[in-house]
Amino acid sequence: MIERSYSQGCEVKICWVIALEPEARPLIDLFDLSPFSNNLNFPVYINSKSGHALVISGIGSSKAAAAATYLKMLFNVKRYVGWINIGIAGFCEEPIGQLFQAIKVHDTARKTSYFPGFRLSKIVKCQTLHTVAKPETTYSDAVLFDMEASGFCEIASMFSCNELVFVLKIVSDTPKSPVSSVSREAITQLIYQNKDKLCEIISHIEKLVNAEKARLHVPEEVYQYFERYHFTQSNRYRFLQAYKKWKSAFPDGKLARTLATGNSASELISNLESELILAIKDWKLE
Amino acid sequence: MIDSIFVEREVLDHPVAQKIFKSLKYADIFEIERYQEMFNRRKQNFRIQKQNPALILAKKHDNFVLPAPSGFGIDAQKNYYFSHMYNCIYDCRYCFLQGMYSSANYVLFVNYEDFFEAISDTIYENTNKSMTFFSGYDCDSLAFEKITGFAEKALEFFTDFSSVELELRTKSIVSDTFLNRSPISNCVVAYSLSPSNVAAILDNKAPSIDRRINVLQKLAKNGWPVGLRFDPLIYCSGWEKLYSELINKIFKDINIDQVHSVSHGPLRYPKEMYKKITSLYPDDKLFSFPMEAKDGIVSYGKEIEEEMSSFLQSELEKYTTRNKIFRCLV
């Protein structure tokens, strides 16, 4: 369906799904997020200028999936948006505070694996993550352990593409520093101490999001023709394809002039195609 | 530079995998069960993944050798292809792999021995028939050679089957694999070629045409049979002059006896594949051309195809005999 989509007065670019308030607090500060409403099932924060939205899911993979869905529905989040799950994780070795991008997420209960995200390996270390139902205390494998990421990955990749779904984890507990000793304040501190690295990561993700947005963009002038003339869904698709070709071939072309003589969807499409055909003889590749 | 290797648990200890771990010693290694877990899954974004592809090492279990699509072959009675790898390190804008897979990661099947066994079986099933095996359908045959060493093994294998031809199709300028050994008369190194300025725009990350021509002339001088592949033919303003100059440049300094075959073929896509590729690069001038869709195939249209094909044929006949020139129609 090629329809103009409406959002709640803001254009979301990055969606954060975070299990705990102490994990979310540094990001709320860093990105200057404000509570969206007091009357919601999940606490939601937003900065409508920068396009960051954040939901606090609670613990567990099904809650992470539900919260991601909630955020998607709340803001009618578009498919070029970046989704990020960040939080603390157990790991078999020090140092506490080390930030990783999880590029393989394995759900130990369902024995399913996900491979989320464009690998930001030039900026951050990559690691395998196991999502478990209960806090890991034995650290039996050389992987990260969390309780949310698999549910998040399963759902968020339905809303965007797999390469724009990111799982970032900060080591909070190890065999030397067990999970029982991790306080709320310590969690917040672990996120804060990675803020520079997080800003670098976000800057890269925003570039990917902007490129994807540009790729999927349907210009306003296209919708204006959809409103003015009767288009079937199939003709909408054909018009959009012809328009994109025409725009690429004639970036400075005036659409109104090309379409001036068209009085129906098929005539408009034909006008665009005819102008392209006339340009074949002098066709340039750039 | 590859920074991440995903490897199927089953091939972790395979000698090819071990060799690759050593040559990519700075890459992180992640174990997986089967490559299909992460390759070509729904909702993957080829364009984004292409910015930093990972290497996946896997085991191929079946379909090692497949009949080549009709129109792909040169003049053998039987044409087969095999793919030890999916995807390519180059990023040629017209490449059909972009539409074939939703994933840009490279999959390398490390069980080369099974490929050679299957090829050997196919040869014995078809004795008394001329045969060509094509490599480079789902990847570039040589672009990854320094890491994979596959072509070297293939050359060793085909040395024992002198009546059967192997074609390695490439845009790579890897030459050591060939120059460090005596030429094998049944191994054709076939280069994909376009006019320099067309390649400069479309053949992203691939060696320049001048470098490809240098290498192919060098291999020919050293006794290797070379193939010239003008496929796909790209239409643009002044294409006649561009192709004419390209052909002249190649032939003016080549041992013609070493030119095994020359082929040319039009730019064509199955409709769904074309749709997928154009949606990845909606702003690219290559795809804004008003292509024609007929019988499920998208192309420049019969008129342009015929014009380009006839022109190439007559230009090529100035330098080589008609029996060496083939028109490919895949």
Q: Do B52 and A118 touch (CB under 8 A)?
A: yes
Q: Name the residue facing B52 among A115, A121, A285 (closest C-beta).
A: A121
- Residue in chain B closest to A272 (alpha carbons) equals B290
* φ/ψ bin of B236: left (φ > 0), alpha (ψ from -120 to 50), beta (otherwise): beta
Query: What is the full DSSP assignment across A269-284?
Result: HHHHHHHHHHTGGG--
Residue B261 near residue B324 (C-beta atoms within 8 A): yes
Give the fold, CATH level 3, of A14-216.
Rossmann fold (3.40.50)
Q: Name the residue facing B201 among A161, A164, A285 (closest C-beta).
A: A285
Q: Name the residue facing B236 among A246, A249, A284 (closest C-beta).
A: A284
Q: Do A248 and B285 touch (CB under 8 A)?
A: yes
| Residues in chain A within 8 Å Cβ distance of B49 | 118, 163
Q: Which of B35, B93, B201, B285 to mutate to test the interface with A (most CBs of A within 10 A)?
A: B285
- Residue in chain B closest to A111 (alpha carbons) equals B33
Composition of chain B by helix, strand, coil, percent to 5 = 40, 25, 40
| Predicted pLDDT of residue A4 | 67
Residue A97 near residue A193 (C-beta atoms within 8 A): yes
B173-182: long-range contacts, CB 8 A cutoff, minimum separation 24: B173/B207, B173/B211, B173/B212, B173/B214, B173/B215, B174/B142, B174/B143, B174/B145, B174/B146, B175/B215, B175/B218, B175/B219, B177/B142, B177/B145, B177/B151, B177/B152, B178/B219, B178/B222, B178/B224, B179/B218, B179/B219, B179/B222, B181/B155, B182/B223
Q: Beta strands of A136-272 (E only): which ranges?
A: 144-146, 165-173
Q: pLDDT digit string (tens) for B196-239?
A: 999 999 999 999 999 999 999 999 999 999 999 999 999 999 99
Q: Do A276 and B47 touch (CB under 8 A)?
A: no
Complex ipTM value: 0.94
Q: Name the residue facing B288 among A103, A115, A245 (closest C-beta).
A: A245
Q: pLDDT digit string (tens) for B64-75?
A: 999 998 777 677
Question: Which residues does A contribute to its contact with B (CB < 8 Å)?
Answer: 103-104, 113, 115, 118-119, 121-122, 125-126, 128, 157-158, 161-164, 208, 211-212, 215, 241, 244-249, 273, 276-277, 280-286
- Residue in chain B closest to A286 (alpha carbons) equals B285
Question: Which residues does B contribute to its contact with A (CB < 8 Å)?
Answer: 3-4, 6, 28, 30-33, 37-38, 41, 43-45, 47-49, 51-52, 54, 198, 201-202, 234-237, 278, 280, 282-290
Which amino acid is located at B14 in the chain? H
Q: Which string of b and e fits B220-250 if b means at least 16 CB within 10 Å?
A: beeebbbbbbbbbbbbbeebeebbbebbebb
Q: Do A162 and B54 touch (CB under 8 A)?
A: no
> Looking at chain A, which residues constitute the CATH 3.40.50.1580 domain(s)?
14-216
Q: Name the residue facing A162 among B43, B234, B286 (closest C-beta).
A: B43
Residue A216 near residue A164 (C-beta atoms within 8 A): no
Return all residues near B63 (Cβ < 8 A) that are at least 6 apart.
Answer: none
| Residues in chain B within 8 Å Cβ distance of A282 | 237
Enter the pTM of the model.
0.95
Render each residue's pLDDT in chain A as its tens digit; 286 residues.
666 665 666 789 999 999 999 999 999 999 999 999 878 889 999 999 999 999 999 999 999 999 999 999 999 999 999 999 999 999 999 999 999 999 999 999 999 999 999 999 999 999 999 999 999 999 989 999 999 999 999 999 999 999 999 999 999 999 999 998 899 999 999 999 999 999 999 999 999 999 999 999 999 999 999 999 999 999 999 999 999 999 999 999 999 999 999 999 999 999 999 999 999 999 999 9
